[in-house]
Amino acid sequence: MVSKDLLSECRSLRVWPAMLLLGVVVALMFAMQADLPPERLRQIVGGLLWLTIFFAGTLALDRSFAAEREDGCWEGLLGYPVSPTCVYLAKLTVNVVALAALECVLIPLFAILTDVPLVAHPAPIVTVAVLGNLGLAAVGTLLSAVANTGRQSSYLLPLLVLPMVIPLVLGAAEATRLAVEHDFGPDWWRWVQLLAGFAIVFITAGIVLFEFAVEE
Amino acid sequence: MLETTRSRWLHDCLGYAVAAVMVATAIAAIFLLAPTEETMGAAQRIVYIHVSVAWMGLAAFVGMAVTGGMYLFSRELAWDHWSRAALEIGWLCCSLTLATGSLWAHAAWNTWWTWDPRLTTAFVLWAMYSAALVLRSGVEDPHRRARLGAIVAIVGLLDVPLVIMATRWFRGIHPKSPHMEPAMRVVLVISIACFSVFFTMLLLLRRSQLRMAEMLEDLEESGN
């Protein structure tokens, strides 16, 4: 199912180009507005980066089930000879890959536009990005299945997901800020633990609740 | 049938009377019993209502998720009536928490809004309640609406401790353990108890309305 979704996206290029373009445009607009001294920029760049990832990433999260609905594949998807948990984990994996692709573009772009050394020490930023991706994709995949069963899916998903991921956006933004300032003390670890906890809680919740979300 | 209707009517009237007495008691205690605070003056009385509605907002969220979980377990719409009633009462309480919190902030700190952890948590809860209301408004099938509402309620409840942790790690200016005179503490307890009874009565009334609406729909369907 993961290879089917990735292959389908590679052939049709329906979602990822739009997601990347939206991310680049939002990043440019944020950078344009954030004309601040370097020390102030270091403090806010994490928040701007993660808000951009959220807004652009929501496109990919929404399309993970909307495309199945539109193309009449929903029944086929539910008819797969696998448990709903496998469908959830497959969709989650595809969304994590999509968010990782988005970050591969946005993190260097923010580093260039703001002159903040986001890629000087990649390991801590990659740790934050991986945990943030897992958390965002875990909540987003489950709620995308919920939102796509109603008649107002296109605007409902951000409305449902944004309040839920506030701890994740706060945690990722703070961990990114501390990583940029080379402060890897207890505060950084506390935020990383929050991100890991968020990912574990919501992947477990997704595994348990997904079958209720896709029931017909 | 007539006896049942009369008994229900009497039952509802008793409920309204209890709710009215409770609100009157809380207001009387707040304005007549509680001493005036030295620094903030009369504006400090907001805290008695603020704490009461904030507590009810959080309790309703727990109730909404628990009854939602019971619906998923049993598939009986009666549980969803509880869940939906809790959602609506919780939304009302959260809105009142934000309004009274904002009034307090203006009186205490000369600003209408601060990113204080508890106010931020109330705001996040309000946003979750609002999203759940929008979700429910877009689904017509009652069982599907109940199922999706239950999922969002459970996910939201799992998120609440993480929201509290994340917002608390930012430095806040909310009084952590405000100093209160014994008389003030008594009034606070009276206010919390009275408003809890009042909102519980509202919850029971709304749940009863939802149950009757469902019965009416069933009757209409069987008539057709």
User: Along the 216 residues of chain A, how does pLDDT read in single tens digits?
Assistant: 888 888 887 887 778 888 999 999 999 998 888 778 878 888 888 899 999 999 999 988 888 787 777 767 777 777 778 888 898 999 999 999 999 999 999 999 999 988 888 888 889 999 999 999 999 999 999 999 888 876 666 678 888 999 999 999 999 999 999 998 888 888 889 999 999 999 999 999 999 999 998 887
pLDDT at B2: 55
Asked if residues A157 and A140 have their Cβ atoms less than 8 Å apart, the reply is: yes
Alpha-carbon gap, residue B198 to B184, rounded angstroms: 21
Q: Is the pLDDT of residue B68 over 90?
A: yes
**Residue B78, burial from CB neighbour count under 10 angstroms (0-12, 13-18, 19+):** middle
The predicted model gives B156-182 an average pLDDT of 74
Q: B187 to chain A nearest CA, in Å?
A: 34
What is the pLDDT averaged over residues B89-105?
92
Asked whether this complex has an ipTM greater than 0.95, the answer is no
Closest partner residue to A166 (CB to CB) among B124, B139, B152 is B124
Say if residues A166 and B163 touch (Cβ distance below 8 Å). yes
> In this predicted structure, what is the pLDDT of residue B176?
56
Contact predicate A73/A214, CB 8 Å: no
Q: Do A139 and B169 touch (CB under 8 A)?
A: no
- Select from A74, A146, A156, A187 the residue whose CB has the most chain B CBs within 10 Å, as the one to mutate to test that interface: A146
Q: What is the pLDDT at residue B177? A: 55
CA distance B41 to B107: 9
Q: Tell me which amino acid residue A125 is.
A: I
Sign of CA dihedral B43, B44, B49, B53: positive
- B72 contacts in chain A (CB < 8 Å): 212
Q: Compute the count of residue pairs across chains A and B with CB atoms less than 8 Å apart.
A: 81
Average pLDDT of span B160-183: 71
pLDDT of B194: 92
Q: Are B59 and B86 in contact (CB under 8 A)?
A: no
Q: The tokens of A43 are what?
A: 């403090």
Considering the entire predicted model, what is its pTM?
Answer: 0.87
